[in-house]
Every structure is written in C-alpha cells, then in structure tokens.
Structure 1
C-alpha cells in the first residue's frame, strides 16, 4: 500500500496494524516521565488469589470501551483496519516474538478464541485546524485496544510470553502483513502504568516500504483477561515528538474490567 504525508494524517482512519501503523497513520503518545528503558513493567500480583472469570468473545465485546465512555476520544469498531485473525501476520521470523507481534495487532498474545478489539482515537482539536495549524491538528493519538480471556492460568502464561518476548526480541524481528514486509529493528522496555494485576510496556522501532517510526504498546493482565494497547501519534510520524499509550485509555478500559 502506497502512502503520502496526507494519507498518514487522515483523522478518519486509526492505525493500520497491517503495516504497523505506517500506512494511514495512527498515533502513539509519550512523555519522558512515563518512560523508563530500565523497567519493563510492574505487577501487583503475578497470580490472583481467587479464580477470575474467563469471558466469552461476546462478553468481551460488551466490555470494550464504547463511544461516549471516554471523554475527548472517538471509539470505533476498527473492523476496517484491525486484522481478523493471527493468520494475517505471516512469516514472523522468531517464534518467541509472536506474542509481541500479536499484542501490537490487538490480537490475543496467548492461545484463546475469546477476543475482541476496537480503536480509540483522540478528538481532533478543531480550533487548530481552523487556524491552519495542520501539525497541531493532527497531534492525535490513536490506540488499538484488544481484549482476550483465558481459562485456568492461560492469562498468566500469555502475559509472561509477551514479557519474555520483549527481552528475547530486543534486537528486532521481521514479518509480513497484507503482503507488506515489515521490519522491527528494535524493542525497548518502557515503564508500565502499573494497572491491573501486572503490566508491561515497550516501544518498537519499525519500518515498511522505506518509512519508519516508533510505536508504543502496553499489555495489562486483569485476572483472566489480557488487555493490549497499541498506540501511534499522527503528528509524531513527521515531527518525531515523543508520546506514550494514553493513560486515560488504560484507566477507562481497566475500569470496565474490574
């Protein structure tokens, strides 16, 4: 898929995971205060004291954030941009990197059929657009949110697979999505939000079709459910400004999983 600076700044399309958000432009948001390359995450408990409920796909759909539930953001289904299944991501050249790649695509990082996903994008600042400040008008963060639920200790195993993959794949890996070869050149651990029972965050430097960027992901375990957040910032693709996964999105989605 060919891209232009205009296409990357489209406010009507969130991240195209099929090329790791390098196609139509979505956004990840970050700040120096929330990043810490020496810390990969935080956990309040590696295993819950009581068995947590495992949800069905239909139940997870209802637990996803809906339009109007998070102020300042637009919530959409993501059906046009999110991959329907893991089979979309092909030729992942390191097996230990598969959970990381799936988390970035709002797919279950573990083995389960119970999953649901959508996209949550910051509202455009209309005042900036009206004044012709296009760089500021597209200073938006778009996040793909994925929920997956597991029986037994499946959620703990899925979370560990992502955490282990961040370390094992720090030097990068490659894969193909929608016919586009994508190279992750580096994975860097970041300071996680501390949400849920345990959380881990990381940034990836990624490239496809001659373009590159840095994107952010956080994975949070809430009992038997894993929430993944993959964010991209429209403006940062051209300005290089730092950003993180929006705390407001993590907090709002986490509240629905309690």
Structure 2
C-alpha cells in the first residue's frame, strides 16, 4: 500500500469512526444501557428465559472485562464522554431506531444496571523496514465498545428480539444524526456468531464506494444480561472491506458473565 493510500484510508476511516463512536458509543457506570446485535445462539430468539433477577451496576462491573482478560488487547473503563443520551441521537426511520441506537449505546427498555469497557487491539509487531507497511500495520487494529445491560424477567430476551426485528426492516440503510452530525448507514448484513444463550451479529456499512467503512455489531444474551460489542478497524475502508469479529473479546466477556 502506497503512502498516499494509507493516509487516505486513515483519514476516511477515522472520520467515520469518530462520527459513530468517539462522541458516544458506550454505556458507563452512571447510565443504564440496553443494546443488541444479529445471528446464532444456544436458543431460538423466541424462547423465553426463566425469571431472573437483574444484576446491579456494581455486579456488572465485577463481570466486565479487565486489563489482562484478553491477550493482545488493552481494556479500560468507559466514561461520561462515551455516553450518548437519548436526545442526542435521531434516526430518520422509526423502525430503525433500535438498531441505530445500539451503535451509540443509547438506553433501550428499562435496564436495571449497566457497565462499559473500551477494548483496543494492540498493534501487531512488524519487523519490516518499509514505513508504509509499518503504518498499515499500526492502523490494522480492531477497537470495540463493550456494554453490559441487565434486565428483570424477560427484558433481555425482548431487547434482542426488538433488535432483530429492527435490523430485518433496515437492511437497506438509514440515516443517523448525532447532535446534528449525520452518518448514512448504507447496508446492514447479518452474520453468524455464537455465545451466550442467544446471539446476533451484523456487518454495518457506513458510506459508499471507496469511502465506505465497515463496522461490526454483536449483541448476545447471557441470562438477564445483554452484552453488546460495536467494533471498527481503522485499516479497513471500501465497499468490499471487512474485518473479523473480535471473537477473543466476545468469548472472554461471555466467560466472565458465567
């Protein structure tokens, strides 16, 4: 990859990423969040879990990822600057609100507790003397916002069902507005994912052509807790660009949820 191409890739991806993530993509210690994602799991989405008592925010903090839980990733807590308030985000299609809100961590339903983490892949070591290859390697890292939201009774199952229904109606795209800054989601493609009692996943494309940027959205339910992972990779742009789901992060979080 030539230097100019690398610079263009970085700028385009960074711009899209900041629009969707930097201002407010996660839950935090102070705000209860509900999120969702797309495709396989242990149970069918229509199955109803047994009555459960929702975990408190303090209990979710203990069940959240910590530094050292995922090899090759840096883990840190989310803060107030990572939180999107309901009034901050609008979606041009009502039926797309649940899936659109999930990108920003906007509260859905009535979660009883929440917690959030930022999980960033460490750059791969490259002994190459080519500065272009070194830069490309530094950009090729996956960053994720991980949010946990707990619900009483069947609230977690309903949260995922709502998300699945919203995504099915919005595969052709929709427009998000975050405090007046618009971002066009042009395609939503369901993917396969495993974990928890049920799990959902999508490839989310923002923009079109060479300036398109892929994101990954995964949401799963473990008992009465919904874990959502919204990820991007600065080294990937273009309509055909893609990157792997952060399976190591997902598996580690499911393990901690028990």
Same fold? TM cut 0.5: yes
Structure 1 residues 76 and 142, CA, compared in 2 at 3 Å: closer, same or farther? same
Greater Cα shift, 60-69 or 103-112: 103-112
Is 1:183 the counterpart of 2:193? The answer is no
Q: CA deviation at 1:136?
A: 1.4
Greater Cα shift, 155-164 or 61-70: 61-70
Alpha-carbon contact 1:175-1:183 (below 8 Å) kept? yes
Q: CA separation in 2, counterparts of 1:59 and 1:130? A: 47
Is 1:172 the counterpart of 2:144? The answer is no
Q: CA deviation at 1:158?
A: 0.3
Alpha-carbon contact 1:149-1:226 (below 8 Å) kept? yes
Q: CA separation in 2, counterparts of 1:176 and 1:128? A: 42
Q: CA separation in 1, counterparts of 2:238 and 2:77? A: 27
Who is 1:153 aligned against?
154
Who is 1:223 aligned against?
223
Structure 1 residues 141 and 80, CA, compared in 2 at 3 Å: closer, same or farther? farther
Alpha-carbon contact 1:65-1:253 (below 8 Å) kept? yes
Matches within 5 A, 1:37-56: 41-45=39-43, 46=45, 47=47, 50-56=50-56
Matches within 5 A, 1:65-214: 65-79=65-79, 82-89=82-89, 91-112=90-111, 114-127=113-126, 132=131, 133-192=134-193, 194-207=194-207, 211-214=211-214
Deviations 1:159-217 (A, max 9, x none): 0011111101111111211331111112111112x211111111121139x95312111
Alpha-carbon contact 1:106-1:147 (below 8 Å) kept? no
Aligned with 2:175: secondary structure? strand
Deviations 1:93-125 (A, max 9, x none): 222222212222234443325222121010112
How many residue pairs align between the two structures? 231
Aligned with 2:117: secondary structure? strand
Structure 1 residues 197 and 5, CA, compared in 2 at 3 Å: closer, same or farther? same
Q: CA deviation at 1:87?
A: 2.8
Is 1:248 the counterpart of 2:227? The answer is no
Structure with more helix by fraction: 2
Deviations 1:9-31 (A, max 9, x none): 88xxxx53xx22499xxxxxxxx
Alpha-carbon contact 2:74-2:119 (below 8 Å) kept? yes
Unaligned runs of 5+ in 1: 24-39
Q: CA separation in 1, counterparts of 2:101 and 2:129? A: 38
Q: CA deviation at 1:230?
A: 0.8
Deviations 1:53-83 (A, max 9, x none): 3112222222210111111000122327522
